[in-house]
Structure 1
Amino acid sequence: MLSGVADTMRATSWRRQMAQFVQMLHVIAMALAVWKGLGIVTNSESPVVVVLSGSMEPAFHRGDLLFLTMGSKPIEVGEITVYSVPGTEIPIVHRVTETRPNPKKRHGQLLLTKGDNNHGDDIMLYKGPRWIRDDQIVGRVQGYVNLTLTVTDSFPMLAM
């Protein structure tokens, strides 16, 4: 009789573990589906990014979530873009300060950017070229959520 109870408990425990595992897979699949869906809707490979530095203060702070889109219209001076530089993994969030046509690509653009909190433009970040190409743009900032204030208000010990 006692061995029957132990067997039932083991079976229940195993079933519960399997159910939790399946639920975890479901959560991961849903998160991936939402991410991919956002990418399709916004036409951006990274529809949401996190600000990692203070170079765009006071507009954005470390920890802010930025929501990106990729439109088909030319990028204009003053727009805040997220771009990638070949050879680096971390995208950069900066404001476009100058644009010009790309002579090597029909309807292409060359862009010069600068962080709002930086003294100079981003030429040193481009690793060689004086301009970034419009095909290096990951997205245009359309909105943001300031998570830094939320977290540091809730957990003051995390404020730096």
Structure 2
Amino acid sequence: MKIRHALTQSVTFLVMVVALLVLVPEGTMLVTGVKTPAMAVLSESMEPAIRRGDMVFVHNMSNEPFRIGEIILFKVDGFEHPVVHRVIKVHKHRDTGEIRILTKGDNNSVDDQFLYPVGQPWLQPHDIIGRVASYLPYVGWPSVFISEAYKMLQSGGSTTTPQVHWVTM
């Protein structure tokens, strides 16, 4: 009788864990509008505002215009991970209404134009995944360690992180 009860509790626990692993990410995606709403920071490019090893939380449910000073998450062709940097310029074309955005890491000496695709001096709204809503210090360190270990395995032992604000989950 005790074995049956323990087995039932174990199966129930496993079903609940699997349900949480499936439903929580889907639910947060619906609420935030972002596929991966929580990501670990892998570099120092946004220090001191956001540090390496912090966990950022991203949303994309706002229809508000982008503002200078806000921190966004964007994807650049050719880069494995999205980038989290601050908006430093917003340009709205007078005739077409098209929005163009220029970003920069707080700890970087130059803007991000060198990151954008060749011939594209500004980000376009479709490049932007979301806006950083908040962050938790140190919570992303497990992801940083895993990422560094993976890079070491891939590169044969040496790791050099460019001064770009990588994030991962």
TM, length-normalised to structure 2: 0.69
Question: What is residue 51 of structure 2 aligned with on the other side?
Answer: 61
* Displacement after TM superposition at 1:132 (Å): 0.9
* 8 A Cα contact 2:55 2:139, kept in partner: no
Question: What is residue 83 of structure 1 aligned with on the other side?
Answer: 74
Q: Which has the higher contact order (CA 8 A, sep 6+)?
A: 2
SS of aligned partner of 2:115: helix
* 8 A Cα contact 1:123 1:131, kept in partner: yes
In structure 1, C-alpha distance between the alignment counterparts of 2:32 and 2:41, rounded to whole Å: 19
SS of aligned partner of 1:147: coil
**Superposed, which structure 2 residues align to 1:41-120 within 5 Å?**
41-70=31-60, 71-101=62-92, 108-120=98-110
TM, length-normalised to structure 1: 0.73
Coordinate RMSD, CA, aligned: 3.0
* 8 A Cα contact 2:40 2:140, kept in partner: no
* 8 A Cα contact 1:46 1:138, kept in partner: no
In structure 1, C-alpha distance between the alignment counterparts of 2:141 and 2:123, rounded to whole Å: 34
In structure 1, C-alpha distance between the alignment counterparts of 2:76 and 2:94, rounded to whole Å: 20
In structure 1, C-alpha distance between the alignment counterparts of 2:108 and 2:40, rounded to whole Å: 19
CA separation of 1:24 and 1:89: change in aligned 2, threshold 3 A: farther
| AA in 2 matched with 1:69 | H
* Displacement after TM superposition at 1:93 (Å): 0.6
* 8 A Cα contact 1:61 1:148, kept in partner: no
SS of aligned partner of 2:108: coil
In structure 2, C-alpha distance between the alignment counterparts of 1:133 and 1:74, rounded to whole Å: 13
| AA in 2 matched with 1:35 | P
Of all paired residues, the percent bearing the same amino acid is 35
Residues 106-127 of structure 1 show CA distances to partners (whole Å, capped at 9, x for unaligned) of 6542110000000000011113
Question: What is residue 137 of structure 1 aligned with on the other side?
Answer: 128
Larger radius of gyration: 1
| AA in 2 matched with 1:79 | E
Question: What is residue 28 of structure 1 aligned with on the other side?
Answer: 18
CA separation of 1:130 and 1:149: change in aligned 2, threshold 3 A: closer
* Displacement after TM superposition at 1:73 (Å): 0.9
Residues 52-87 of structure 1 show CA distances to partners (whole Å, capped at 9, x for unaligned) of 110000011111111111111111111100100123
In structure 2, C-alpha distance between the alignment counterparts of 1:108 and 1:40, rounded to whole Å: 27
* 8 A Cα contact 1:62 1:148, kept in partner: no
